[in-house]
Structure 1
Amino acid sequence: MSARFEELDWQPTDLGEISLRRRRDPSSGADVYEVKLDDDFLMSSLFTEGEVALARLGLAAASGDPLDVVVGGLGLGWTAEAAFQDPRVRSLLVVEALEPVIGWHERGLVPASARLVPDTRCRLVHGDFFALAEDPRGFDPDSAHRRFHAVLLDIDHSPRHVLRPGNAALYEPAGLRRLARHLHPGGVFALWSDDPPDERFLSALGEVFQDAEAHTVRFDNPVLGGTSANTVYTARTPQP
């Protein structure tokens, strides 16, 4: 049995001090993994429905077989792991800006690492997703101008609540157009958000993509009581 509370790692980063903690949930006895950036909670294994739904909804909208997929933001690995539930996924490129987070998985500190790291279809890339989206060479440092069938993004809290001011440009039509050039025709962009559906962002998606939708993902919240919700946006690039 694990200790009631343990800080598994702590490191300074350009964004602030990031820490990985494990604690025992008193009601279930299960281990809960939490990530904090300075004093803010970024994610918890208590709430994974939104991250899983990002992969499920994003790939459900994608056509073709096989699929090459980019995940923006590794975190605890829930979106990347859920993507492999789709048997069409041939390759998964996970872009993570914080090197300590990649290290957690390489060192086996979080549960998903045992399933992601050994899988030869999965590559963990240390890089700035937003800078790579702007770069015409794209997301894959080993294959310039490579296109993908889906890009699944879970980094900022929402299009309006970003971790870094420079990230905000991606969520405007010009930034979305630059991201879209890294997708095949009919490719899918999907985004996790902690805010309710945002009509302004849906409008921006509609200027660039087709079939832009906002999906509300509800889940039980044992901390606050009752139900909480995330939003998953999905949209497709035009097909010829």
Structure 2
Amino acid sequence: MSARYEELDRRPTAMGEISLRRRWEPVLRVDVHEVRLGEEFLMSSLFTVAEEELARLGLAATTGRELDVVVGGLGLGCTAVTALEDPRVRSLRVVDALEAVIGWHRDGLLPLAGTLTGDPRCELVHGDFFALAATGALGPAHVVLLDVDHSPRAVLHPSHAPFYTADGLTRLASGLHPGGVFALWSDDPPDHDLLEVLGAVFATARADVVPFANPYTGGESANTVYVATTAG
């Protein structure tokens, strides 16, 4: 058993102070890694089902045999590691605006770090996903998986909001190969307004509700994964 609580790192960022901690969960008898931005809770290793499904659902939506994949948001690495489980993935670029998060993986502070840093297909990129998408600098991709904001309506920084408009999504879609996929994680229930925008930009668009067990409530919670595909 580890110490009940240990702060592994704390650093200032342009969006506020970010911290990584590991704590012992006595009820479940597991170590839990948690990330906070200021006083805002960002992620926990207890709740990774939807992050993993983001990769599975996004990759399942394309029939391509060799895939170049971009992940927006590194976090604990769950989406990226799940993507690497698909043998069709020949390259994976993981873009994160917070250098500290990339450093946690390179320093081996997170359980999945070795899987990412040890896979030659994977590249960790320090950069602003939204700025790169706006300028077409993400590069041609078959699949883009995004998990940064709590939801398109609850963004971590105001500069992210334009991405979720028709103009922002059109710029992203233009960088996808024919039949390419954009998949998005959200903490909110399905947003019908967002689905309308996705449907206007992409050839197909849907929202999948992903339920998962919540040990704190004894019931289920749920996230949403949006999957949109270009023509072709």
Say whether the fold is shared (TM-score over 0.5): yes
Return the alpha-carbon distance in structure 1 between the equivalents of residues 75 and 21 of structure 2: 13
3-state secondary structure, aligned to 1:151: strand
Who is 2:46 aligned against? 46
Amino acid at match of 1:196: P
Residue identity (%)? 63
2:203 aligned to 205, 210, 214, which one?
Answer: 210
Amino acid at match of 1:178: R
Who is 2:65 aligned against? 65
Residue 192 of structure 1 contacts residue 232 of structure 1 at CA under 8 Å; is this kept in 2? yes
3-state secondary structure, aligned to 1:189: strand
Amino acid at match of 2:188: D
What is the TM-score normalised by the length of structure 2?
0.98
- Residue 113 in 1 paired to residue 106 in 2? no
Q: Which residues of 2 match residues 1-240 of structure 1 at below 5 A?
A: 1-136=1-136, 138-139=137-138, 146-239=139-232
Return the alpha-carbon distance in structure 2 between the equivalents of residues 155 and 202 of structure 1: 18
Deviations 1:57-80 (CA, angstroms, capped at 9, x unpaired): 000001211110000000000000
- Structure 2 residue ranges without an equivalent (≥5): none
Residue 12 of structure 1 contacts residue 18 of structure 1 at CA under 8 Å; is this kept in 2? yes
Return the alpha-carbon distance in structure 2 between the equivalents of residues 229 and 135 of structure 1: 33
Amino acid at match of 1:230: N
The Cα shift of 1:118 comes to 1.0
Return the alpha-carbon distance in structure 1 between the equivalents of residues 127 and 210 of structure 2: 29
Amino acid at match of 1:174: D
3-state secondary structure, aligned to 1:2: coil
Deviations 1:118-162 (CA, angstroms, capped at 9, x unpaired): 1100000000000000013x12xxxxxx31100000000001110
The Cα shift of 1:28 comes to 2.2
Return the alpha-carbon distance in structure 2 between the equivalents of residues 6 and 106 of structure 1: 19
Return the alpha-carbon distance in structure 1 between the equivalents of residues 59 and 189 of structure 2: 21
Amino acid at match of 1:10: R
Return the alpha-carbon distance in structure 2 between the equivalents of residues 7 and 232 of structure 1: 31
Amino acid at match of 2:194: F
Aligned length in residues: 232
The Cα shift of 1:208 comes to 0.7
- Structure 1 residue ranges without an equivalent (≥5): 140-145
Return the alpha-carbon distance in structure 2 between the equivalents of residues 114 and 238 of structure 1: 36
Return the alpha-carbon distance in structure 1 between the equivalents of residues 197 and 63 of structure 2: 23
The Cα shift of 1:4 comes to 1.2
For the aligned residue pairs, the C-alpha RMSD in angstroms reads: 0.8
Deviations 1:172-191 (CA, angstroms, capped at 9, x unpaired): 11100001111101100000
Amino acid at match of 1:52: E
